Structure 1
Amino acid sequence: MIDKIVPSCADALSSVPDGASIAIGGFGGAGMPEELIVALLDQGARDLTVVTNNAGQGETGIAALLKARRVRKIVCSYPRMARAHVFETLYREGAVELELVPQGTLAERLRAAGCGIGGFFTPTAYGTALAEGKETRILDGRPHVFERPLAVDYALIHAQVGDRWGNLVYRNTARNFGPIMAMAARHTIATVAEIRDLGGLSPESIITPGIFVDAVVPRPPTDAPHTASAMSPEAMS
């Protein structure tokens, strides 16, 4: 019987080694796998490469990983958001490496890894420092930069609803990077606000099929009130 439900984040993250590459979902606070980040801190893995949309704010979440000096390199689009003082301090000290990637390019590199695509050309970043050392071509009269897929060892994501097969449904913008990170990862761990019985999810509402998910950890809902309207198939699609 397939059952991917794991009782705790600590159990789900127990095998993460030093030096792992980890994609962490979230767009601001939406879809942020907060409990998984805390558990990763407790687990102790270090020398990590973190792929995420931004470098964290304040001293919680991804910023806490950085402050604990667990991150060797961060691949992100917005490293200098408001209150991103932890990253800025470490970067100026030379304590963390940054690979800056435009947001759309970051998403497409992850998607390319999940789809088995060997790379793609995009006009984004042509003529800037971000294109240095990369192949360029003129396509339809417009210059493009070649970008490579971005595969990772682990993806840590949050969804609103899941089942024991690992099928996931997201709530509104909490969907953000979760689906493509799950596709790009060798191992995907998801926290969910609710577990449904098999057959309790409409196939048309499932965004991430269970084939991309290795572990599902139940957690109390935090990103929305648990209401009938919020949990309707229409709201979750």
Structure 2
Amino acid sequence: MKGALKAGAAAELIPDGASLLIGGFMAVGSPERLIDALVARRARDLTVIANDTALPGRGIGKLITAGAVRRVVASHIGLNPETQAKMMAGEIHCELVPQGTLVERIRSGGMGLGGVLTATGLGTEAAEGKQTIEVEGKTWLVEPPITADYALIGAWQADYVGNLCYLLTGHNFNPIMALAGRTVIAEPESIVPVGVITPDAVKTPGVLVHHLIIRG
């Protein structure tokens, strides 16, 4: 089986100070066992790039509570009061990015593009200090691409060679993040023989996945 690891062993691969793309949408589609293993090994100074920081006790919220996170890049933190409190106390630096801009920055990083042109944020504080460019008479804000040391992916199923499929809101960020992590670690709910996942259901091909988390 491709790169099979238990969650604890995978967490040991991720050094303190690493940047992590973590899939999930309010913890749906987040790799919970891998997050638990990072908390257990007392990871520190992580940069977490995600849609949100979930809730206390769920998904990325566990890393926030454990003091594992130094920096967050997310579209919102509104449902996690611990993230808000740590930001106001100066314990976590938060970069808030509009959701569409965030996913496009990650996609452009994974595709090897130079960034995103967007009108979102023009004329507001969000544009301060950022490059703008004019195209056919219209001004655009230039948002840089996002990549990370690791992409931590929650999937519904994987097969033995690492092909992944997702359910429901697990689709929202996981497939894009799998493109932009230099090392991709996927945590499926189940691992099935090759052929069980039909080709049109594969959203992340196994060539992108370095490790699969197995139970035990």
TM-score for both structures, normalised by structure 1: 0.86
Question: Alpha-carbon deviation of 1:201?
Answer: 2.1
Segments of structure 2 that go 5 or more residues without pairing to the other structure are none
Inter-partner Cα distance in structure 1 for 2:122 and 2:191: 45
2:89 aligned residue: 93
Inter-partner Cα distance in structure 1 for 2:91 and 2:188: 33
Tell me, yes or no, if the aligned pair for 2:152 and 2:186 is still in contact at 8 Å. yes
1:37 aligned residue: 35
Question: Alpha-carbon deviation of 1:219?
Answer: 5.2
Question: Alpha-carbon deviation of 1:154?
Answer: 0.8
Inter-partner Cα distance in structure 2 for 1:55 and 1:139: 35
Segments of structure 1 that go 5 or more residues without pairing to the other structure are 221-237
Identity of aligned residues (%): 42
Inter-partner Cα distance in structure 2 for 1:59 and 1:93: 20
1:27 pairs, out of 12, 21, 25, with 25
2:206 aligned residue: 210
- 49-58 vs 105-114, which deviates more? 49-58
Matched, 1:3 2:2: yes
1:72 pairs, out of 67, 70, 73, with 70
Inter-partner Cα distance in structure 1 for 2:116 and 2:84: 31
Tell me, yes or no, if the aligned pair for 1:100 and 1:130 is still in contact at 8 Å. no
> Per residue, is there more strand in 1 or in 2?
2
Tell me, yes or no, if the aligned pair for 2:20 and 2:150 is still in contact at 8 Å. yes
Taking the TM superposition and a 5 Å limit, the aligned residue runs for 1:214-233 are 214-218=210-214
SS of 2:212's partner is strand
Task: Give the length in aligned residue pairs.
Answer: 216
Inter-partner Cα distance in structure 2 for 1:182 and 1:107: 12
* 1:80-138 deviation line (CA, Å, top 9, x unaligned): 22xx1101111111111011111011101111111010112111111121111111123
Q: Which has the higher contact order (CA 8 A, sep 6+)?
A: 2
Deviation above 2 Å: which 4+ runs of structure 1?
2-6, 58-61, 137-143
2:59 aligned residue: 61
Question: Alpha-carbon deviation of 1:20?
Answer: 0.2
Matched, 1:158 2:157: no
Inter-partner Cα distance in structure 1 for 2:152 and 2:13: 14
Inter-partner Cα distance in structure 2 for 1:122 and 1:190: 31
Tell me, yes or no, if the aligned pair for 1:46 and 1:70 is still in contact at 8 Å. yes
TM-score for both structures, normalised by structure 2: 0.94
